[in-house]
Structure 1
């Protein structure tokens, strides 16, 4: 019995290269974690990750990254340790989350992808700096969609903290969905790579 080849070797090589390209698969960049040091260390980390909030810290220049360590189950019900996208902090007189200043403000959208009067000017994994337009009052809370160019939209929930001297409004993120939180962190990490390529070389 002869079998017909569905894909050529060139097509298979291309699919493999796309799958392994971290720029095309940003969620996979930090996903795998190999633990050296024997089964005792791996077992300890696995037990901790199953019951506690575990992070791995990295310090580079004046920035600190905190990677969450999670226990995930694959399709064969085997458990693996996996790194999530990091929380990025800037050190100075006060340690604060790294803020991405957007080149152009991005309008928050409703569920039907219609832009509203809230425009994001800065984003961090903890909060947003928002420009409230059209002489509207800033809402106490909102649940909208953040759609930066070239990225899948991200659901954001936030609560008003204060008005800044520049007339913007600082909102504290209160994400409930773990996947949305991870997607926001992935977006911030990708932008951090672009802003600080030497740290990610």
Structure 2
């Protein structure tokens, strides 16, 4: 498949603008695009979105963003491409997910919002780096709540991958419901904006 440039600079700027809403936990009103064009294009996009994962890739500096798109139909039967929060990767041989290092570790909580022995030090959309406190053993799996300050808590499910040289534990995040996954991606995107303001400025 050819990697031709499919979007103009104005379209790329528009996509960037759609993800600059500073309000957390709110779906952005501009996160959809009206699909215009001949019926063959609409049919093709409908088929792709129905059967395949459709994304827009954006490359900048040493990072890459992958925006998921889905085709939705409104009450007037108009079709729109809806963008979700992106997956952010660091360039390199493995294309590692961008990791946010938290200023202070955040305790994972149970359903009653009580903190446990697992404290998150780094987070990506695919995994967590966790400190285990109180001399407890790291669980092979967990289903807990991640509650960063100023943000609605997010359900996370992890499977132990390995112990690091620094004594922390790497957990791979499992698939949760789409709403929880989207909220985690939105949180990471918001933190990426704070870490890279030059990229997100209009």
Partner of 2:164: 164
Counterpart in the other structure of 1:22: 21
Of the two structures, which has the highest relative contact order with CA contacts closer than 8 Å and spacing of 6 or more?
A: 2
1:173 is aligned to 173
Contact 1:30 1:84 in 2 (8 A): no
Residue 29 to residue 160, structure 1, CA distance change in 2 (3 Å): farther
Alignment CA distance shift 1:36-1:65 (3 Å): farther
Go from structure 1 to structure 2 and tell me whether the alpha carbon gap of 1:138 and 1:76 turns closer, same or farther (over 3 Å shift): farther
Instruction: Give the corresponding residue for 1:50.
Output: 50
The normalised TM-score by structure 1 is 0.83
Q: 1:77 to 1:132 in 2, by over 3 A?
A: farther
The residue aligned with 1:107 is 107
Gapped regions of structure 1 (runs ≥ 5): 1-20
Structure 2 unaligned regions, length at least 5: 1-19
Match of 2:146 in 1: 146
Larger Rg: 1
Q: Cα distance, 1:34 vs. partner?
A: 4.0
Alignment-derived partner of residue 191 in structure 2: 191
RMSD value over aligned CA atoms? 2.0
Structure 1 stretches (4+) deviating beyond 2 angstroms? 24-27, 33-43, 71-80
TM-score (norm 2): 0.83
Secondary structure in 2 aligned to 1:24?
A: coil
